[in-house]
């Protein structure tokens, strides 16, 4: 059995989904290998690709010359003492990777797209599979993948496809495998595949190329394909034994961990989790703590990254009573718990250095229409309390929802400005209407993106607050506010919240 994580996604920590699958296979003593082709493709770009374009400017020449140095610097904790030094290393390394590729592809540290082929069209993905040699990573994965398959002789090869930026490379690798080893069973799962399969008009366009597509957690499906059917366990501890943990672009190993699937709130009208009908499946807090104790002792991480859509109040309470011994961060819902100073101080002592908070809007009417369950008064107090406790707040805002107009967007700006000292980082997003969302039938006018695999629909905004107007407000008014611009300057480019905690921790 071989498990593969394809390019391109942020290469700052190992993929947690593959670690869970590896843990399940290890539990049943199934021999397997893990190939993080995403991380290896980046190293191939840095060390193996020849420069295909003559530098037309000093920036490109410098970026290509210093690519190995910049890679090393992003693994050095000292780089995170200066946001300016960090930004230069990230942007230059991204430029070097970009300039190593041509033939219509654009590639970066977290980007992969083609000027013609779209991951939203199944026909284009099939074209990528039919012509894998056109993929810029083909020399890497042909040599690496074929040698690995020949050595291991697996009956099953599984791919974890989570992001659109991974889709074209995934299908190029699938095409190569199917051509060279037609007898191998190919399984593809992951977050993007789950979203496709839960679409309203899903019909599998990949028959003949992929043997099994898996929606949701894949442990049981994978085990059953390997002939293991008497499965008693509901959870397997993730296993990182087969990952090259020293390669990732972070100052030492970040341990990603999921304590739940789905979202315990699951009411927000804009949320893909609700649109896809994904159930909330939490692990008991005692099991989470047991897992983390073992994983931390074994892997010695510099930080724990909770991947949950929102860490449950029960787990937060558990963490306050039993510190992890290492820094940690993750998403949490804004609630009265976070407005309690004693509780937040206990969170800080447990190792919490940053919480990601989905505020979405600074207008109470918008929040109510979105069914966020958030009170702005509580949000204000929570931000102030977290600041006093020494926990950074990474705040997410969502503009252009059906409930919002320019006046409400300006209230969000007012809220941010009035809390500029408490907001550590900002993420700004423009609303996309999920094709299965509860409001899609009210406002949908057609496909948002051209393609049979699109997850979002175009819609006519009931208040005339279209994407063009929203984007104009963000660019010309919101970002130009001095208080907002000062917050945005602190955001790590490309890696954003994955690296932001390191800038909150001081020298270490």
pLDDT in tens, 72-126: 999 999 999 999 999 999 999 999 999 888 778 999 999 999 999 999 999 999 9
**Which of helix, strand or coil describes residue 107?**
strand
Alpha carbon distance 410, 413 (integer Å): 5
Overall average pLDDT of the 247-255 stretch = 96
pLDDT of residue 233: 79
pLDDT of residue 507: 63
Q: What are the start-end ranges of the E strands in 129-244? A: 156-160, 185-189, 212-213
Same domain, yes or no: 427 and 284: yes
User: Which CATH number do you get for residue 21?
Assistant: 3.40.50.280
pLDDT of residue 104: 87
Instruction: Name the percent of the chain lying above pLDDT 70.
Output: 96
Overall average pLDDT of the 460-469 stretch = 93
**Residue with tokens 């590896």, as numbered in its chain:** 22
* Phi/psi at 297 (5° precision): -65, -35
pLDDT band at 447 (very low <50, low <70, confident <90, very high): low
Same domain, yes or no: 208 and 260: no
Q: Is the pLDDT of residue 211 over 80?
A: yes
pLDDT of residue 436: 77
Residues 264-319 pLDDT 10s: 888 888 887 777 778 899 999 999 999 999 999 999 999 999 999 999 999 999 99
Closest listed residue to residue 417, CA positions, set 391, 129, 123, 409 = 409
Q: Among 26-35, 173-182, 411-420, 458-467, which is the least confidently predicted range?
A: 458-467
DSSP category for residue 215: -
Domain C-terminal end among 225, 242, 271: 225
Overall average pLDDT of the 338-347 stretch = 98
DSSP one-letter string for 332-386:
E---GGGG-HHHHHHHHHHTEEEEEEEEE-S-HHHHHHTT----HHHHHHHHHHH
Closest listed residue to residue 257, CA positions, set 239, 234, 271, 241 = 239
Given a contact cutoff of 8 angstroms between Cβ atoms, the answer to whether 63 and 96 are in contact is: yes
Residues 50-67 pLDDT 10s: 545 566 789 989 998 999
231 in a structural domain: no
Q: CB-side exposure of 448: number of CA atoms within 13 Å?
A: 18
297 in a structural domain: yes
Structural domain span for residue 200: 2-38+116-225
Q: Is 468 left (phi over 0), alpha (psi -120 to 50) or beta?
A: alpha
Closest listed residue to residue 345, CA positions, set 387, 373, 303 = 387
More confident residue, 446 or 243: 243
71 in a structural domain: no
Q: Is the pLDDT of residue 48 over 70?
A: no
Q: Among 186-200, 409-423, 487-501, which is the least confidently predicted range?
A: 186-200
Same domain, yes or no: 156 and 29: yes
* Phi/psi at 260 (5° precision): -160, 160
pLDDT of residue 182: 96
At 213, list the tokens.
Answer: 């597509």
Overall average pLDDT of the 201-219 stretch = 94
Alpha carbon distance 281, 271 (integer Å): 17
175 in a structural domain: yes
pLDDT band at 242 (very low <50, low <70, confident <90, very high): very high
Domain C-terminal end among 225, 260, 289: 225
pLDDT band at 171 (very low <50, low <70, confident <90, very high): very high
At 46, list the tokens.
Answer: 């840095």
491 in a structural domain: yes
Same domain, yes or no: 305 and 410: yes
What per-residue string of b and e applies to 247-261 under the rule 16 or more CB within 10 Å gives b? bbbbbbbbbbbbbbb
pLDDT of residue 151: 97
DSSP category for residue 114: E
Beta pairing partners, 141: none
Same domain, yes or no: 211 and 357: no
Domain count, the chain: 2
129 in a structural domain: yes
Same domain, yes or no: 274 and 393: yes
pLDDT of residue 181: 97
508 in a structural domain: no
pLDDT band at 448 (very low <50, low <70, confident <90, very high): low
More confident residue, 88 or 235: 88
Alpha carbon distance 30, 222 (integer Å): 11
Overall average pLDDT of the 147-166 stretch = 97
Overall average pLDDT of the 317-322 stretch = 94
Same domain, yes or no: 275 and 192: no
pLDDT band at 344 (very low <50, low <70, confident <90, very high): very high
- HEC letters along 302-331: CEEEECCCCCCHHHHHHHHHCCCCCCEEEE
- HEC letters along 5-64: ECCCCCCCCCCHHHHHHHHHHHHCCCCCEEEEHHHHHHHHHHHCCCCCCCCCCHHHHHHH
Q: Is the pLDDT of residue 183 over 80?
A: yes
At 446, list the tokens.
Answer: 């057609």
Same domain, yes or no: 329 and 196: no
For residue 315, give every residue at least 6 positions away whose Cβ sits within 8 Å of its Cβ, in sequence order, or none: 259, 282, 285, 288
Dihedral angle of Cα 185, 189, 194, 195, to the nearest 10 degrees: -100
Same domain, yes or no: 211 and 273: no
- Averaged pLDDT score across all residues of the chain: 93
Same domain, yes or no: 27 and 140: yes
Domain C-terminal end among 225, 242, 269: 225
Closest listed residue to residue 85, CA positions, set 96, 70, 97 = 70
More confident residue, 473 or 450: 473
**Which of helix, strand or coil describes residue 14?**
coil
The reported pTM is: 0.95
Overall average pLDDT of the 158-173 stretch = 98
Same domain, yes or no: 286 and 219: no
106 in a structural domain: no
pLDDT of residue 473: 98
Beta pairing partners, 160: 189
Alpha carbon distance 210, 171 (integer Å): 10
- C-alpha distances out from residue 357 to 13, 88, 251, 421, Å: 21, 28, 24, 16
Same domain, yes or no: 281 and 166: no
User: Which CATH number do you get for residue 490?
Assistant: 3.20.20.70
DSSP category for residue 501: G
DSSP category for residue 476: I
């Amino acid at each position: 059995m071989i498990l593969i994580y394809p390019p391109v996604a942020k290469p700052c920590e190992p993929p947690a989904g593959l670690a869970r699958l590896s843990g399940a296979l290890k539990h049943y003593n199934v021999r397997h290998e893990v190939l993080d082709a995403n991380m290896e493709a980046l190293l191939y770009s840095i060390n193996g690709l020849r420069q295909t374009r003559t530098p037309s400017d000093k920036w490109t020449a410098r970026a290509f010359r210093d690519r190995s140095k910049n890679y090393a610097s992003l693994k050095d904790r000292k780089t995170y003492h200066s946001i300016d030094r960090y930004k230069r290393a990230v942007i230059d390394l991204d430029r070097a990777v970009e300039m190593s590729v041509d033939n219509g592809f654009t590639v970066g540290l977290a980007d992969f797209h083609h000027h013609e082929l779209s991951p939203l069209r199944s026909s284009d993905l099939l074209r990528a599979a039919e012509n894998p040699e056109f993929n810029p990573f083909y020399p890497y994965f042909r040599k690496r993948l074929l040698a690995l398959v020949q050595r291991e002789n697996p009956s099953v090869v599984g791919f974890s496809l989570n992001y659109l930026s991974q889709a074209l490379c995934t299908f190029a690798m699938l095409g190569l495998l199917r051509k060279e080893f037609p007898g191998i069973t190919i399984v593809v799962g992951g977050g993007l595949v789950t979203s496709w399969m839960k679409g309203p008009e899903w019909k599998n366009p990949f028959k003949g190329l992929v043997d099994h597509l898996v929606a949701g957690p894949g442990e049981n499906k994978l085990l059953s394909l390997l002939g293991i059917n008497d499965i008693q366990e509901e959870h397997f501890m993730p296993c990182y034994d087969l990952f090259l943990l020293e390669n990732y672009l972070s100052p030492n190993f970040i341990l990603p961990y999921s304590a739940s699937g789905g979202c315990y709130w699951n009411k927000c009208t804009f949320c893909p989790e609700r649109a896809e009908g994904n159930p909330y499946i939490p692990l008991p807090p005692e099991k989470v703590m047991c897992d983390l104790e073992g994983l931390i002792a074994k892997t010695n991480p510099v930080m724990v990254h909770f991947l949950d859509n929102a860490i449950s109040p029960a787990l937060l309470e558990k963490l306050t009573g039993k510190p992890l011994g290492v820094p940690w961060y993750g998403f949490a819902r804004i609630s009265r718990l976070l407005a309690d100073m004693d509780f937040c101080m206990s969170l800080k002592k447990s190792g919490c250095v940053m919480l990601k908070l989905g505020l979405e809007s600074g207008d109470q009417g918008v929040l109510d229409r979105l069914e966020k369950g958030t009170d702005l008064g509580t949000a204000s107090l929570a931000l102030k309390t977290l600041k006093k406790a020494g926990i950074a707040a990474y705040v997410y805002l969502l503009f252009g929802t059906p409930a919002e107009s320019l006046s409400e967007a300006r209230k969000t700006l007012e809220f941010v400005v009035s809390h500029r000292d408490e907001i550590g980082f900002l993420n700004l997003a423009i609303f996309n209407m999920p094709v299965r969302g509860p409001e899609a039938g009210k406002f949908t006018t057609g496909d948002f993106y051209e393609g049979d695999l699109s997850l979002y629909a175009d819609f006519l905004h009931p208040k005339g607050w279209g994407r063009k107007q929203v984007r104009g407000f963000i660019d010309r008014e919101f970002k130009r506010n001095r208080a907002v611009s000062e917050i945005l300057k602190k955001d790590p480019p490309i890696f954003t919240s994955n690296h932001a905690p390191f800038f909150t921790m001081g020298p270490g």
